[in-house]
């Protein structure tokens, strides 16, 4: 299953997917990495792994539709079948998400449906929950909504800061995302039309 990963930053989840894809039996081959930021470290990770990269900077486009169309064109050009959002910090239009319905996954650093949107870890700390975690879900037009593929829980410890909680969740993300992408791509290959 030809897979693209969309990033905006460090790309540690991208790295986890790259590492998983080193196993030939893993069903999601990463063929393209797109970043909306030219200085995203994830681009270096992709280049190092020999994966094609593209920078599509939202500031070069007049509005969300034009930006999303540019991304869609790039995905079509590379014959991408599955899109993984991994720390991609742009909200996608309803048209784009509808086009990729059932073919686009996201990872979010909370146990959805709690704490959608940005600063999910801070939202969890502010709410005083004792368990948080991460969620992999299918992308639908509504932000951080959509059917859940998998979740992983981590404890919120006394004295946690946004930084310490984020690190604990991120470590869980690096296990969960490859697990879910592998499972979903496997389903696409076996049961997809």
Binding site for ligand GRF (CB under 6 A): 7, 9-14, 86-87, 107-109, 170, 173
Q: Is 91 annotated as a binding residue?
A: yes
Q: Which is nearer to ligand GRF, 82 or 107 (CB)?
A: 107
**How crowded is residue 153: how many other Cβ atoms within 10 Å of its Cβ?**
11
E-assigned strand segments in 8-110: 29-35, 52-55, 82-85, 104-108
Q: Is 92 annotated as a binding residue?
A: yes
The contacts of residue 11 (CB under 8 Å, 6+ apart) are: 5, 33, 40, 41, 42, 43, 45, 46, 86, 87
Q: Tokens 């930084």 map to which residue?
A: 163
Q: Is 168 annotated as a binding residue?
A: no
Q: How far is the CB of 65 from ligand GRF (least distance, A)?
A: 23
Q: How far is the CB of 166 from ligand GRF (least distance, A)?
A: 7
How many residues are recorded in the chain? 193
Q: Which residue is nearest to ligand GRF (CB)?
A: 87
Q: How far is the CB of 8 from ligand GRF (least distance, A)?
A: 7
- Catalytically active residues are 108
Binding residues: 11-13, 64, 89-92, 106
């Amino acid at each position: 299953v030809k897979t693209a990963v969309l990033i905006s930053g460090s790309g540690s989840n991208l790295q986890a997917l790259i590492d998983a894809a080193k196993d030939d039996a893993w069903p999601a081959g990463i063929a393209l990495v797109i970043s909306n930021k030219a200085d995203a470290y994830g681009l270096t990770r992709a280049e190092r792994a020999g994966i094609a990269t593209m920078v599509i900077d939202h500031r070069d486009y007049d509005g969300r539709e034009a930006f999303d169309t540019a991304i869609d064109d790039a995905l079509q050009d590379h014959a991408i079948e599955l899109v993984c959002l991994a720390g991609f910090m742009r909200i996608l239009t309803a048209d784009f998400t509808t086009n990729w319905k059932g073919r686009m996954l996201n990872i979010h650093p909370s146990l959805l449906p709690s704490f959608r949107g940005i600063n999910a870890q801070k939202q969890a700390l502010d709410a005083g929950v004792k368990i948080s975690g991460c969620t992999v879900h299918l992308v639908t037009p509504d932000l951080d909504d959509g059917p859940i593929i998998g979740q992983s829980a981590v404890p919120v410890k006394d004295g946690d800061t946004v930084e310490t909680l984020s690190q604990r969740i991120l470590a869980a993300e690096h296990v969960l995302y490859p697990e879910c992408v592998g499972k979903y791509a496997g389903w696409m290959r076996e049961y997809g039309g």
